[in-house]
Structure formats: structure tokens, C-alpha cells
Amino acid sequence: MPRRKAESSEVGENELGRLVNFGFSRQTIDRLVSAGVKSLRHILLFNAEELQELLGSPDTDLPRRLINTARELLAESPMAVSARERVEALSRMPVLKTGVDGLDNAVGGLRFGASHEFAGEFGTGKTIMALQTAIASISQFGFNVVYIDTEKTIDHYLDSQLLRSMCNRFGVDYEKMISDHLYVYNPATVDDLEDFIKLKLTDLVINNNAKVIVVDSITALYRAQFRGRERLAERQQRLHYVLDWLRRLTIRLGVLVIYTNQVMTSPTGYIEVKMPVGGNVLAHTVNARWLMVRASKSKGEGVMRALDVPGLPPGFEVKYVIGDDGLH
């Protein structure tokens, strides 16, 4: 479980207290801790302009010194590595077996340190897939999961027989899972979502072993709260910003990010094609993209179609069935 507020603040003060020896004031450290930045590693996730805003600094001199000092203390100066070293580093990243055999056989599973999108219409099984990755990660690695629910969807599943059956399938104790491993957050606004990801979520990743992040769905709040074509550019910029923060967590902290996404109808000649919303911002940020399709909601069968999945040709299909214990 997350530490109590006083304990968490004490942890931050103890680690960031080292900065006093490098000429930083207690006031600066207190501002960082009170904002939710409790570790040197968290500092390195910000750029200087973001830290300037967080601290209320008149310029970026103080933030840049903070970042450089954190790099020095953690011995994480920016540097390139050989391609071989990168391949070896990737080979050490955990890979999650989802329990959907067709997907696991096609790509080996879902790689940590990357983001994976599952888009589709209502009822295609996106939330079930997201919950299944959460349960599977708890089973296989013991990691904690943060489930960001922007559509108030997970409430219908938390006490359901489906989730209990899914836990039984993956050998996870349901009571322990909901008490110790699964954290849920329901942001009401885009501002809530962005502030949570930058501060509270990152703290959970660094200090509470939360290595799996689910956002269900990634575009819902942005579509609702940036209305009209005149605000489209602003919407896409804000969406890109939150995607970029989650990308930072995959790069620096090796988390697994799962996005669900809505779809829209895209006319193409005489046919209409369902495509994920979010445009190029999402297409250029997510590492692997799947489209989930069910021909009939009265039947449990569906297909996951590869939109942009490394190693697979576009249109490659994985069949799945929705059972009483998840997707197969």
C-alpha cells in the first residue's frame, strides 16, 4: 500500500536532503516535497521549464542546477550506448504473457519499457483486456498496477465475478490484489489527469513498485473537454504532453503502459473504416497499436487487428474469445 503522507514526506526529505550539501536551500527542498517530488529520480523526469513552473522560480538557473546535480548523484549523465548494449538491455526487460494465446504467440507478449494500445468500439473487450494485463502482471512479476479510469468503467468490474474468476485463472489472491496491488484513480478533468501523472503516479512508480500503468481510455477526457474544431490543436498538444510524460516513465523507469482507446468512423471511398481517435499524436507515440473488433456483441468472438505492431504486417489478425474468466 502507499505510505502514509507523513512517512512519504519523510522519505522525500531524507533523500532530497542531500541537496543541501550542494548549495540548495531547505525552502527549495520543501517546495519539491510538498509538490510530490520526493526523489532524485523524480527530478530527472522533469525538464528545466517544468521545474521552473513547479518551484515558481524566476528563471531556469535553479531548475537546471537541480537536474544536473541529480544526474551527478545518480551517475546518470546523458550518453549513447552501442547498439549491442541496447539489444542486451532490451533482452533483460520483462515480457508479460497476456493469456491471449494468439497475441502471445505472435509477438511474445507485451514488453515492459513500452506502450501498447487496444482500441475498439464499446463492448469489444478493451477494459477486460486491460484488467487481464493487470492481473497477469501481478501473477507473473508481483508488480503493482495503477489503473487510471477516465470513463468510470472499472467500478463495474472491481467486485465482479469476472475479476474474481480472472484472479483464479492467473493464481492471484483476489482480496490481496484489491488491497495491496491495484490502485485506481478516476480523474474528472484533463488537469487532474496531467497533474496526477506528473506527480502522484510517478511517485507510486518510484516508491511503491507500480510498474504497470493502465489508462482507460486515453482520449476520453480530451474529446469531451476540448470541444470544437477551433480547439483541436490545443487538444492534440495537451494529449501529446500527457503521452510524453508516460513515455518518459517507459524510458527511465521501464514501466509497461496499456492504453485503451475509442474509435471513430473514417470514410474511405465507398466504405467506412473504424480507426482509433487521437490522430498522429497517438500514432507516433504509442509503441504497438491493436484494433479490437467484434462482428456481433451477442457472441464472444472477436479479432485483434495489428495497426502498427513491430514485427507484424499491418492487418495481421489475432482471434480472441471473451470468457467468464477473461480473454482467451
Per-residue pLDDT of the chain (328 residues; tens, 9 = 90+): 454 444 444 544 578 888 888 988 899 999 999 888 999 999 999 999 999 999 998 899 999 999 999 999 998 888 888 999 999 988 899 999 999 999 999 999 999 999 999 998 888 899 999 999 999 999 999 999 999 999 989 998 999 999 999 999 999 999 999 999 999 999 999 999 999 999 999 999 999 999 999 999 898 888 888 887 888 888 889 999 999 999 999 999 999 999 999 888 766 656 667 788 888 888 889 999 999 998 877 788 899 999 999 999 988 999 999 999 999 9
Amino acid type, 21: N
CATH 1.10.150 residue window(s) in the chain = 5-74
Residue 164 C-alpha cell reads as: 474474481
- How high is the pLDDT of residue 258? 96
Q: What is the pTM of this model?
A: 0.90
CATH class of the domain whose range is 89-327:
alpha beta
Q: Are 106 and 312 in contact (CB under 8 A)?
A: yes
Residue 181 C-alpha cell reads as: 496491488
CATH 3.40.50.300 residue window(s) in the chain = 89-327
CATH 1.10.150 holds for 5-74: yes
- How high is the pLDDT of residue 217? 86
- How high is the pLDDT of residue 270? 60
- How high is the pLDDT of residue 283? 87
- How high is the pLDDT of residue 70? 92
- How high is the pLDDT of residue 267? 62
Question: What would the 3-class secondary structure string for the chain be?
Answer: CCCCHHHHHHHHHHHHHHHHHHCCCHHHHHHHHHHCCCCHHHHCCCCHHHHHHHHCCCCCHHHHHHHHHHHHHHCCCCCCCCHHHHHHHHHCCCEECCCCHHHHHHHCCEECCEEEEEEECCCCCHHHHHHHHHHHHHHHHCCEEEEEECCCCHHHCCCCHHHHHHHHHHCCCHHHHHHHHEEEECCCCHHHHHHHHHHHHHHHHHHCCEEEEEEECCCHHHHHHCCCHHHHHHHHHHHHHHHHHHHHHHHHHCCEEEEEECEEEEEECCEEEEEECCHHHHHCCCCEEEEEECCCCCCCEEEEEEEECCCCCCCCEEEEEEECCEEC
